[in-house]
């Protein structure tokens, strides 16, 4: 998988997000202070916000091109998204949340079945529970599983562990690595936690006030 | 209470319920469009939907009379197309109730839609949901309590409707006579004692209805 952002410009409240970047690692981290434009960057990749200029290409398919007025809607992009607040649908049980984006027609192998994904994420006993009754860590794994079951070509994770303590974070990291290794879904992982970057990411992009100010391995960027 | 008084009570409940059911689909659609979409003329439609709250009811009744009489633009059309007479029939009572209670439904449903986090809808889109599916499975269920509360308020408003109904439907016994009209007529004729049972029944019905609306609104719901 490769994601290419070309001359993107997205005006935000105080500054404009301007990026030109290629994402071709299994897990790319986006690191930066609060308000740097990290969530807006994920939103525009997912198709939830529309830049005023530039183009976005996923593998060999252009999914956004301002010059040609091309804007593939989010539902057709096959880009999964786990936001900071997880956005589990509170009126649906775990099973219904997981099956919301389940697309059997897109499944290329038996990995992407409810039983297997629930098993990998260790949420099988939770399927009939209401999502509002789950613990923080359980909600996290349900959100990951829901995104996996939509068979995305790329998964965006926006500080998904920011509300958890360090013990729970450590416990969840293997689950994220299994998304990469077992389901072969590339991840773009937004965080401002250096320990998460080191544990998860192959490459890190530094974002500040909408500008990419550096990139490299976690060790290089954090040095 | 006399048989005639009971007939008036049941007729009032029937027309109020019918008018509420009639405005429900349009009211919900208008509320959603105002809450969730930007479109040219939105402010004008929003203002028009609120007008019956502020224009004197008798003026609204007069406008309906001009529009829906046999010579009026809409009345003549309905007469030609379906053979329906509107003015001075039960249909006029339903029409007046619907118009006068429409703003309450729209305002309450709009607030309900605005109270649903847009993030749920965004994430549903990334999971492959069409706009219609997002509305039917996320926005509508999460706003349902507010919409039901709006419908309850609209029903209560219709139960007490007087001014517009008096102008467009008249006070025809066993044909268009509602509780409000009957109380007014009895007082005009000096039959205060005959008005009293209707007064208490009407207060009782509206009290229970509004109380139900309050309970529905106050119940904790997942966000």
Comparing A57-66, A162-171, A210-219, B16-25, the range with the smallest average pLDDT is A162-171
Question: What is the arithmetic mean of pLDDT over A114-124?
Answer: 91
Residue B103 confidence class, pLDDT cut points 50, 70, 90? very high
pTM over 0.90: no
Q: Is A223 within a domain?
A: no
Distance CA A153, CA B128 (A): 13
**CATH number for the domain that contains residue B118:** 1.10.3720.10
Q: Is B148 within a domain?
A: yes
Indicate if the pLDDT at residue B222 is higher than 60. Answer: no
Question: What is the arithmetic mean of pLDDT over B20-27?
Answer: 97
Q: Is A14 within a domain?
A: yes
Q: Is B200 within a domain?
A: yes
Question: What is the arithmetic mean of pLDDT over B33-48?
Answer: 92
Which chain B residues have a beta carbon less than 8 Å from that of A132? Answer: 222
Distance CA A151, CA A137 (A): 22
How many Cα neighbours within 13 Å face the side chain of A128? Answer: 1
pLDDT of residue B221: 54
pLDDT of residue A107: 67
Cβ of A90 within 8 Å of Cβ of B223? The answer is: yes
pLDDT of residue A196: 87
Distance CA B116, CA B138 (A): 9
Could you read off the pLDDT of B146-167 as tens digits, one per residue? 999 999 999 999 999 999 999 9
Range of the domain at B92: 3-218
The token duo for A83 is 């936001």
Question: What is the arithmetic mean of pLDDT over A133-162?
Answer: 92
pLDDT of residue A34: 87
Indicate if the pLDDT at residue B136 is higher than 80. Answer: yes
Indicate if the pLDDT at residue A179 is higher than 50. Answer: yes
Q: Is B223 within a domain?
A: no
pLDDT of residue B102: 96
Asked if B154 contacts B104 with a C-beta cutoff of 8 angstroms, the reply is: yes
Range of the domain at A121: 3-217
How many domains are contained in chain A? 1
Q: Is B118 near chain A, with CB under 8 Å?
A: no
Indicate if the pLDDT at residue A110 is higher than 80. Answer: no
Which chain B residues have a beta carbon less than 8 Å from that of A76? Answer: 128
- Collect all residues with Cβ–Cβ distance below 8 Å to A89 and sequence separation of at least 6: A96, A97, A100, A131, B120, B124, B138
pLDDT of residue B223: 47
What is the phi/psi pair of residue B54, to 5°? -115, -25
**CATH number for the domain that contains residue A171:** 3.40.50.300
Q: Is B191 within a domain?
A: yes
Indicate if the pLDDT at residue A20 is higher than 80. Answer: yes
Q: Is B31 within a domain?
A: yes
Average pLDDT, chain B: 92
Residue A29 confidence class, pLDDT cut points 50, 70, 90? very high
pLDDT of residue A106: 67
Which chain B residues have a beta carbon less than 8 Å from that of A77? Answer: 126
Q: Is A33 within a domain?
A: yes
Is the ipTM higher than 0.90? The answer is yes
Q: Is B213 within a domain?
A: yes
What is the phi/psi pair of residue B126, to 5°? -65, -20
Indicate if the pLDDT at residue B58 is higher than 60. Answer: yes
Which chain A residues have a beta carbon less than 8 Å from that of B123? Answer: 81, 83, 87
Residue A182 confidence class, pLDDT cut points 50, 70, 90? confident
Cβ of B127 within 8 Å of Cβ of A100? The answer is: yes
Q: Count chain A–chain B contacts defined by CB atoms under 8 A.
A: 62
Question: What is the arithmetic mean of pLDDT over B106-121?
Answer: 95
Q: Interface of chain A against chain B, CB under 8 Å?
A: 43, 46-48, 73-81, 83, 85, 87, 89-91, 100-101, 103, 132, 146-147, 150
How many domains are contained in chain B? 1
């Amino acid at each position: 998988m490769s994601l290419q952002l070309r001359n993107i410009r997205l005006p935000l409240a105080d500054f404009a997000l301007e990026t030109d970047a290629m994402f071709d690692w299994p897990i790319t981290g986006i690191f930066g202070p609060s308000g740097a434009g990290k969530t807006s960057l994920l939103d525009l990749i997912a198709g939830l916000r529309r830049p005023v200029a530039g183009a976005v290409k996923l593998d060999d398919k252009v999914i956004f091109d301002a010059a040609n007025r091309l804007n593939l809607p989010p539902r057709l992009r096959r880009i999964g998204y786990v936001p900071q607040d997880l956005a589990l649908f509170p009126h649906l049980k775990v099973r219904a949340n997981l099956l919301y984006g389940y697309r059997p027609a897109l499944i290329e192998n038996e990995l992407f079945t409810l039983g297997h994904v629930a098993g990998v994420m260790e949420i099988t006993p939770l399927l009939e529970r209401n999502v509002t009754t789950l613990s923080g860590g359980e909600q996290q794994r349900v959100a990951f599983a829901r995104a996996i079951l939509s068979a995305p070509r790329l998964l965006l994770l926006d500080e998904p562990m920011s509300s958890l303590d360090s013990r729970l974070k450590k416990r969840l990291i293997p689950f994220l690595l299994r998304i990469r290794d077992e389901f072969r879904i590339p991840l773009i992982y937004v965080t401002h936690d250096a320990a998460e970057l080191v544990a998860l990411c192959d490459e890190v992009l530094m974002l500040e006030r909408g500008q990419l100010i550096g990139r490299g391995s976690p060790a290089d960027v954090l040095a | 209470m006399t048989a005639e008084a009971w007939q008036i009570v049941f007729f009032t409940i029937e027309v109020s319920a019918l008018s509420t059911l009639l405005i429900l689909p349009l009211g919900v659609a208008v509320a959603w469009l105002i809450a969730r979409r930007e479109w040219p003329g939105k402010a004008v439609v929003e203002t028009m939907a609120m007008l019956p709250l502020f224009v004197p009811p008798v003026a609204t009744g007069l406008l309906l009379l001009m529009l829906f009489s046999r010579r009026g633009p809409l009345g003549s059309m309905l007469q030609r197309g379906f053979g329906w007479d509107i003015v001075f029939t039960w249909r006029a009572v339903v029409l007046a109730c619907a118009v006068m209670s429409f703003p309450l439904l729209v305002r309450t449903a709009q607030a309900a839609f605005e109270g649903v986090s847009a993030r749920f809808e965004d994430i549903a889109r990334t999971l492959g949901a069409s706009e219609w599916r997002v509305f039917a499975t996320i926005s509508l269920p999460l706003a349902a309590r507010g919409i039901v509360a709006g419908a309850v308020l609209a029903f209560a408003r219709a139960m007490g409707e007087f001014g517009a109904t008096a102008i467009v439907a008249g006070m025809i016994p066993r044909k268009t006579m509602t509780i409000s009209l009957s109380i007014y007529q009895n007082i005009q004729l000096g039959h205060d004692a005959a008005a009293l049972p209707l007064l208490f029944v009407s207060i009782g019905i509206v009290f229970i209805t509004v109380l139900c609306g309050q309970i529905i609104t106050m119940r904790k719901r997942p966000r």
